[in-house]
Amino acid sequence: MNRRELIASTAAVGLAAASPAFARSTTGASMSLPQPPVAKKVPVRIEQLGRVRVDDYQWMKDDNWQAVLRDPSLIKADVKEHLTAENAYREAMMASTLPLQAAMFEEMKGRIKEDDSSVPAADGDWEYYTEYRTGEQHPRYMRVERQGTWMVDGQPVTKNFIKAPTPQLLLDCNALAEGKAYSEVSAVEHSPDHALFAYAEDAQGSEVFKIYVKDLATGEVLPDPIVSATENFTFSPDSQWIFWTNRDDNGRPDKIFRRPARGGETTLVYEETDDGMFQSVGRTSDDAFIIIGIGNQETSEGRIIPGATPTATPVVVEPRHVGRLYDLDHWGDRWVIRTNADDAIDFKVVEAPTDAPAKANWKDLIPHTPGRFIEGVALVKDYLGRQERADANTKIVIRDRAGAEHEIAVDEPAYALSLGGASEFDTTVMRYGYNSPSTPTSTYDYDLKTRERTLRKVQEIPSGHNPADYVVERLNAPASDGQLVPVTVLRRKDTPVDGSAPLLLYGYGSYGIPMAASFSTNRLSLVDRGFIYAIAHIRGGSDKGWNWFLDARRMTKKNTFTDFIACAEHLIERNYATAGKIVAQGGSAGGLLIGAVTNMRPDLWAGVIGSVPFVDVINTMSDTSLPLTPPEWPEWGNPIEDAAAYDYMYSYSPYDQIEAKPYPAVLATGGLSDPRVTYWEPEKWVAKLRPATTSGNPVLLKINMTAGHFSSSGRFDYLKDVAHDYAFAVWAVEKGWEKA
């Protein structure tokens, strides 16, 4: 028995132990494939707006899901048994890929500089940074005394040490994660006076956080952590208070609270009564105000508290109005507001007096230009930086108080620029990052006054990387309505463009989130094996401006799916790919994309990977108890009240549109404690797909029983998840199950 057969037979033992349905038959030296679990059918009739649908797998949703999010061990027994059986079946089917998974993992790990650190961010007397040490999964948060000259209240301060100062450990996330199956610190912040350090930890993957505060003088973590919070929090400018966003029993942010920074009585600052609104709290760049942001995908409202009186009642800047978005920051002597008001579809920037920020006083600072989407603004004392997006690329524009502008330009066909801004207000330096699909990230400090840039760090690839070995190209795929959809292509120079190479096509296309043409060391494990990697910049994202998003939501959502198909067809026409040798991948709302195109054009794909896929659209958007349902009606429509929205949504819902046809190989992944796309969506999708497919191709499910939406928390464990999915892509193209 060779190694592959030994692995397969070992996995089969686990299957047989999990369920008698997995018995393997043998005939001489050959063995049949593992038999998949058969999900029981419990038909549930659902009548809605005079329409009727029957759901055979509604039982997979745990009625106690709110408690399961906070304690995954509470999952009901029959669901746990089925998920365990599905995981065992997938492991057995993919047993032959274990050596490939291991090889890919080692490659990915070898491209990480294990003893790495971020570029320090200067703030007052300190510089803050994160570091990783060799062999450790999680970061360490650090600070060190600052050297050199900087500004404080407009006056230069100089400090130089004869001996380099000793770094101070603020938080070791490895120690925090010890003994836990999952631990993720998603937000940290030091108090403005540098005396306290707060961090938000999610210990089950459900995004229900505890916020801890540490006294940096004593090293003591203060008692009475904040519980049932989101990761969002901030200190008041005077460092005396901490504000945070509460997470309710249904996983939604519903209240902003405040209490003394070192612990004490909790005070309700603001409560949102509209279940369809998200909330957050933060400080302006100049620390003059505390801002409460309220909004969804199409409507927003800001409320402000003066930094000098942090216990004051929040005041509305401009009341919410459906269809109007705005976000605000304070620039020393005025408000700076990014908004789509007055039909500024791609957004403009306005200014308003400090004491009169309402819309009646908004004056254009950077007027609206169609096709130039203003993504964000960063402020320091005398300069404003903005990040713009057009034609699926970004640029950074710097503006001084007199209105003079200049651009930080890049000359590549596809790339990603990211404006990091500054961690202090009284400075002339902003930070930005640059990379492209073939070029590792470079981090620069840019002097806004002298226009000089200083390279602070180049991403190091320990195992070696030569950008000249790769080709990055930008194509434009004609969509069904004549729009041109950008496609970014990455391949090795020696990979032929004759249709023979396998191709992975990645897409997202929702919420106005663009897909950056960025660098990823992980993709190289596919590209170096002869794959072509392509990113489809489809509608639903903002890759070509905010209209690119508006053209694929609610009653035009299908443009997202037809754009993706058009990208695949264009890649085939240009000989980058061949139908049946393409793997499609997308996650979360991108999993909806994958589910839809799998139904619409199964012939195009060798395999599809739906990562935490949002595929049970009608049921999810009709369940008002779920965390994201009311806030996302502006994106998808409300099928509870709107019959047209119901019918349109039903017509593309991946789960509801499954029918007998030759589906490609399918891998669906999920997390048991995922609050964004609940575990039962991929579980139900697989249960319904498997008996429907006529191709004989496998339909597999991977549920992480100790994680949520963002996969495993450790940096190495996460790489194992990526290696698993990429090995599936290779296996699907090669039809590896037929060779087992």
Measured CA angle at 210 (ends 208, 211), to 5 deg: 130
And the tokens for 516? 């950056």
Distance CA(225)–CA(247), nearest Å, equals: 15
Residue 226: enclosing H or E segment and its boundaries? strand 226-235
Could you say which of 82, 330, 570, 709 is catalytic? 709
Measured CA angle at 329 (ends 326, 333), to 5 deg: 130
Measured CA angle at 486 (ends 483, 488), to 5 deg: 165
- Find, among 278, 273, 275, 323, the residue nearest to 296 by Cα: 278
Torsion of CA 223, 229, 231, 234, to 10 degrees: -70
Could you say which of 62, 329, 674, 725 is catalytic? 674
Could you say which of 588, 611, 653, 673 is catalytic? 588
3-state secondary structure 101-155: HHHHHHHHHHCCCCCCECCCEEECCEEEEEECCCCCCCCEEEEEECCEEEEECCE
And the tokens for 455? 């390279």
Burial class (CB in 10 A: 0-12, 13-18, 19+), 6: exposed
How crowded is the C-beta side of 266, counted as CA atoms within 13 Å? 13
And the tokens for 585? 């991948």
Instruction: Please confirm, yes or no, whether 709 is among the known catalytic residues.
Output: yes
* Pair 681, 650: CB distance under 8 Å: no
Please report how the helices 3-18 and 98-110 are oriented relative to each other, as an axis angle in degrees rounded to 10: 110
Instruction: Please confirm, yes or no, whether 674 is among the known catalytic residues.
Output: yes
* Pair 94, 700: CB distance under 8 Å: yes
Instruction: Please confirm, yes or no, whether 327 is among the known catalytic residues.
Output: no
What is the C-alpha end-to-end distance of the chain, expressed in Å?
13
Residue 220: enclosing H or E segment and its boundaries? none
3-state secondary structure 441-491: EEEEEEECCCCCEEEEEECCCCCCCCHHHEEEEEEEEECCCCCEEEEEEEE
Torsion of CA 615, 617, 623, 624, to 10 degrees: 110
Name the β-bridge partners of 315. 304
* DSSP-H helix ranges across 654-734: 680-692, 715-734
* Pair 188, 210: CB distance under 8 Å: no
Give the active site residues.
Answer: 588, 674, 709
